Structure 1
Amino acid sequence: MRYVPHTAQANITAERWNRDGALIQSQSSYHTRECVNWLKRFGKTNLDQTGSISFFQRTAFSPVVCHVAGFCPSAMKISWRRDGKDMKENVRIGAALPDGEGTYLRDVSFNITELDSNSFTCVVGNTSRDLDKHQLKVEKSECNQLTPSYISIYCIYTQLQMYAKSFGAPLKGFV
């Protein structure tokens, strides 16, 4: 083993370390034995984290989303299966985004109909979770619930303005 400087400023330090035989022997032993043993012992369990799997659907007509958080590595395969077979069509795979804790999160979605009687499974690495359509929670948007109220108020306001204009003067307090 030998230290190789990457910049001219590091030449002096690299030469000094390369002359120290005990340091070279110690570092070489650490990297070839101890470090390898630690990686064999803990690397696989720490590097192949599948994280948590959850499902949601924004509206009854929007795609079903398999949300996976806390997985590692970022290239871990995440997919949907229909009746045990990998789905290739109409599946949207989102980007693997870092979550700030050394792991990643990703959404994988597809469109489902109420009449679809197939069974669906979200697969993350070697782990999977079945989608229970009866327990699937459709998020309710408050915006959509308030829209009819706003439309009704706007229609009443507009009709009052038209009624007032037919008499030649706007209603007081509505302008």
Structure 2
Amino acid sequence: MTLAMMNTHKAFKALQLAGVSDQQAEAMVEIFTEMQQDNALSRADLMKAGEGITGSIKELDVRLTGDIRELDIRLTGAIKELDKRLSGAIKELDDRLSAAIRELEVRLTNLDVRLSSEIKAVDVRLTRVEARLDRIEKDIEVIKADVSALKTDMRWIKRLLMVMTTTMVIAAIKYIFS
């Protein structure tokens, strides 16, 4: 109330300074004060409005709490359903992968057995080839010795033939010139 009186007093003084007569300034300040009081809300009005707002807030809170619970229940259900579906899909995938791994293990075992038997067969053949190569090497050594002996024999035969040819030529010359 003091603030309103100070404002009216200031307004009165301002009007006087502006050159308005005292009566007119007083009338104008009165009109201004009445307008302010008409627009001002009483404490009861404010309490009533506050109670209405509080009620609305409580009602909104109750409604939102219910909506949140309902949404929470729906989301929980959806999450559980998704979890079940994903668990099923993961189990199915795990089963398929396990079956594929078992199949690969069987195939690898079969391949290992086949490769082992093939390696043994190749090893046997390689052993035979090595034995043949050893015999061939021995035969080559024998042939080398025989060739060496033949070379020596051929040299002697060549020498003998030369001697015989020379002797025949000498005999023929002797016969021709005799």
Pairwise same-fold verdict (TM > 0.5): no
Q: TM (normalized to structure 1)? A: 0.33
Q: Which has the larger radius of gyration?
A: 2
Q: TM (normalized to structure 2)? A: 0.33
Which structure dedicates a bigger proportion of its chain to helix? 2
Q: Which has the higher contact order (CA 8 A, sep 6+)?
A: 1
